[in-house]
Amino acid sequence: MSRPLAVGVVGAGGIAHPHADAWHALGAQITIYSADAAAPALAERYGGTAVYSMAELIASCEVVDVCTPTFVHDEIVLAAAAAGKHVVCEKPLARTHRQAVEMIEACENAGRQLYPGQVVRFFPEYAAAKRAVDSGRIGQPAILRFSRRGAAPLQPWFSDVGASGGILLDQMIHDLDYARWVAGDVERVYAQITGGDGKPTTAYVVLTHESGALSHVTGGWGHPNTVFRTTFSLAGSTGLIEHDSIRNPPLAWDLADSGSAGGTLLPSMDFAESPFLTELREFAAAFSGGPAPRVSAADGLAALDIGLAALESARTGRAVSPKEIAR
Write the CB contacts of 322 (distance below 8 Å, at least 6 apart in sequence): 186, 189, 302, 305, 306, 308, 309
- Interior angle at CA 307, CA 302 and CA 313, nearest 5: 125
- H or E stretch including 232? strand 229-236
CATH 3.40.50.720-classified regions of the chain: 6-120+288-295
Is residue 267 within 8 A of residue 174, CB to CB? The reply is: no
Main-chain dihedrals φ then ψ at residue 158, nearest 5 degrees: -65, -40
Closest CA to 2 of 28, 20, 40: 28
What three-state secondary structure class fits 156?
helix
Query: What is the CATH code of the structural domain delimited by 6-120+288-295?
Result: 3.40.50.720
| CA-CA-CA-CA torsion sign (166, 115, 214, 132) | negative
For residue range 209-225, list pLDDT tens digits in order. 999 999 999 999 999 99
- The reported pLDDT for the residue numbered 267 is 57
- The reported pLDDT for the residue numbered 46 is 97
- The reported pLDDT for the residue numbered 266 is 56
Main-chain dihedrals φ then ψ at residue 218, nearest 5 degrees: -120, 135
* CA pair distance 35, 37, nearest whole angstrom: 7
Residues of the chain with pLDDT under 50: 1, 255-263
Main-chain dihedrals φ then ψ at residue 223, nearest 5 degrees: -70, 170
- The reported pLDDT for the residue numbered 270 is 54
Q: Helical H runs in 29-85? A: 39-46, 54-60, 73-82
Could you give the percent of the chain with pLDDT greater than 90? 89
- The reported pLDDT for the residue numbered 102 is 98
* Residue 243, burial from CB neighbour count under 10 angstroms (0-12, 13-18, 19+): middle
pTM, whole model, 2 decimals?
A: 0.93
* Residue 253, burial from CB neighbour count under 10 angstroms (0-12, 13-18, 19+): exposed
Closest CA to 290 of 300, 299, 280: 280
CATH 3.30.360.10-classified regions of the chain: 121-276+303-322
> What is the second-level CATH architecture of the domain 121-276+303-322?
2-Layer Sandwich (3.30)
